[in-house]
Amino acid sequence: MSNLHVMVVGDVMLDNYWWGNVDRISPEAPVPIVSLDRRESRLGGAANVAINCRALGATVTLASVVGDDAEGDSLIRMAEDAGIETDLIMKSFRRPTTTKVRILSRNQQMMRLDDETTDDLYTEEEHPFIDMVLRYLQRVKPQVLIFEDYNKGVLKENVIKRITDHCNEIGIITAVDPKKKNFLSYKNVTLFKPNLKEVREGLNMPLENTGLNELNAVHNKLNEVLDHKITFITLSEKGVFYNDGHTSGIIPSHIRDIADVSGAGDTVIATAAMVYALTKNVHLMAEVSNLAGGLVCEDVGVVSIKKDKLLKESELVLCK
């Protein structure tokens, strides 16, 4: 994995955690009073995908748009401290940096405060961003590009198409973690990784049964529109499904002490894209990323995968 160069393109965010204790109810309103004792900031969204790739050993470049604000400065500084290349992060005076504040007591989330816009990039931001990314791809040629879409406006349809087309021209693997708005815009990508909820919303189908036959039908329906190579669907507690047009399967999840599922999808797409780039083995890709997603759910908040822990778990489960 240390030989890979991964580029992550998409919506970045700053995840802030305010930890405290609740001892009484406010006399002003029937709400708990949280006495804060520590605060912590973590990289979220596409930045969390990038930090997962970095944690697995890859060289990582992050391309996104943040606000021209203190939160944007903080996000860039944290990414640089994590060893992520940030030269392709643009600043915009038209939008704030997406920031989420989670207030917790005894590992229980009490409230979340979001500061963000979901407006698409303006044309005068979109074209410079595309040009910057395409020039970098042409010059550096990373092995993998991951689209991380949180419907915050960076990944407009034209941005997706121009970058995907260029990656296909020069032989770069493309992987996608989609959301509803652009769900069917990721045409001709290598790896398409929605979760079950996103499939239901994106295809407007109930999909009450999630057996192999039903999920294979989903792959075929997606492929008719996207003409992509691999469908990889996370099924929450039921595991993961994969289909590359030749082989398919469902890999069940492993028993875990689940503390928090936040950011698990980021870990899965990072791991899946890297394992596939190295091995071209779809089954192995699904097995290892399934393990990675489960491992990060054992911690509270958005955390990145630990490489040594994933290796140990993979040896324990896959080498029996």
Q: Mind telling me the catalytic residues?
A: 266
Q: How do 59-67 and 108-115 pair as beta strands?
A: unpaired
Closest by CA to 318, choosing from 290, 294, 276, is 290
| Structure-block tokens of residue 148 | 């991380």
The pairing of beta strand 5-10 with beta strand 173-177: unpaired
Map the chain to HEC letters.
Answer: CCCCEEEEEECEEEEEEEEEEEEEECCCCCCEEEEEEEEEEEEEEHHHHHHHHHHCCCEEEEEEEEECCHHHHHHHHHHHHCCCEEEEEEEECCCCCCEEEEEEECCEEEEEEEECCCCCCCHHHHHHHHHHHHHHHHHHCCCEEEEECCCCCCCCHHHHHHHHHHHHHHCCEEEEECCCCCCCCCCCCCEECCEHHHHHHHHCCCCCCCCHHHHHHHHHHHHHHHCCCEEEEECHHHCEEEECCCCEEEECCCCCCCCCCCCHHHHHHHHHHHHHHHHCCHHHHHHHHHHHHHHHCCCCCCCCCCHHHHHHHHHHHHCC
Q: How is residue 173 written in tokens? A: 């693997």
Using alpha carbons, select from 192, 184, 193, 187 the residue that is nearest to residue 168. 187
